[in-house]
Amino acid sequence: MPFIAGVGNTCGSGMHEIKERLMKEYRDLPVIVGISRCLLGEPVRYNGGHKLDRFLLDKTKGLVQWVPVCPEVEFGLCVPREAMHLAGNPESPELVTVNSGKVVTGQMQTWISRRISELEKEDLCGFVFKSGSPSCGMRGIKIHDKNNPEKVRGQGAGLFALAFTRHFSRLPAEEEENLHDADMLEKFIKQILAFAGTYNRPHRHV
């Protein structure tokens, strides 16, 4: 079910003024944007916790309708669950449980194919990914040696984030931590609104 951010005040007069201006300049709000489910405060992380991003949700109130996605839970893993990381060949890493060494790449890739097909029907205008995640991180995710997990062989993107950004190559996408910068957040909001085809279309007064 989509998560709809309601209209409300934002922290900081600068960003508040920017949001008010954007809401006057653009029409057909809110626009639909995908998001890592844990950022909405849902307890879907491996340890049963969440990563509620109050800053992001507050700044986008009235502008965005969220479509939450959690790869691990949606392809069948429970909460809580064993932590996972990327391991193996940096060019095609596997998703592996940290303690037991179970490889779940196949289940993840099967789910990714199905979920991307479903997301094609959502009219998405952007996506916000959880940084540092072996499924949703867009960059800088450590890829460990399969036989010696303490050794890091390289860095890359989470499996879902990589597949999503390749498939939706023109769709604005960013990690949540980068959107805590006001300039980057404003840029991202303008990108998703422009993608929706609403930029520079003033409201009609009747």
Nearest to 128 by CA among 173, 178, 184, 188: 173
CA distance linking residue 104 with residue 160, whole number of Å: 13
Type and span of the H or E element at 127 = strand 127-129
Any idea how long the chain is?
206
Beta bridge partners of 155: 142
| pLDDT tens, N- to C-terminus, the chain (206 residues) | 454 443 333 344 566 777 777 777 766 789 999 999 999 999 999 999 999 999 999 999 989 999 999 999 999 999 999 999 999 999 999 999 999 999 999 999 999 999 999 999 999 999 999 999 999 999 999 999 999 999 999 999 999 999 999 999 999 999 999 999 999 999 999 999 999 885 433 433 22
Domain parsing of the chain, residue ranges: 3-77+123-139+156-195
Look at the block and give the residue holding tokens 């949700």: 57
Are 3 and 65 a contacting pair, CB within 8 Å? yes
**For residue 71, which of 49, 98, 46, 47 has the smallest C-alpha distance?**
46
Specify the pTM. 0.87
Rg (CA), the chain: 18
User: Quick one: tokens of 79?
Assistant: 């909460």
